[in-house]
Each structure stands twice: as C-alpha cells, then as structure tokens.
Amino acid sequence: MNIKEFYEYWNGQEIDEYVRQFNVLILFQAIQGQKEARLVIYGKFNDEKKDQLKKQISTLFGGFNLSSQLCDKINEYAEKWYN
C-alpha cells in the first residue's frame, strides 16, 4: 500500500475511533506532483502540543522514504509520546 492509498483508507469515523482508543493518529498526505508528503496529526491535544510532536517526528524519522510501515512506526512512537 502506498502513502496515498494509506491516507485515503481512513475515513472520519475510523479516525475518531482510532484517536479514542490510542489518543493520536499520524497520517501522511501525498502532495500532488512532489516527492514529499504532509504530516497530518489527529489527537486529543492543542496545536502547541501537535507542533512539538511534529518536531520530534521530523527529528527522529526525517530523511526516510515514506511507506505504510514507516507510518506504523511513527504512530507507535506518537502513542508512546502522548502517554
């Protein structure tokens, strides 16, 4: 599954259920015409906390080619970070 398919797999209800259970969900949205993807954070915290998590993720996981496996690893990290 590529990044676009992985992102499109999730719908609003699934996102809400996941966040209710794990507190945070990280997805990557492919940017059309670019090799980069935008980090999308769903969670039960404010924008300042989301920015802190974004910085941590870019520091720890930056420079990788994105894959659904990497998204899984980042979500595991984000859940631990939240708790």
pLDDT tens readout for residues 3-54: 677 777 888 888 999 999 999 998 888 777 776 777 888 998 899 998 888 8
What mean pLDDT comes out for the span 54-68?
A: 72
CA distance 2 to 17: 23
Tokens, residue 5: 């398919």
Q: What is the pLDDT of residue 44?
A: 86
Contact 71, 6 (CB under 8 A): yes
Six-digit token pair at 53?
């998590």
pTM of the entire predicted model: 0.71
| DSSP 8-state code for residue 65 | P
Residue 68 has pLDDT above 80, yes or no: no
Structure token digits, residue 37: 């993807």
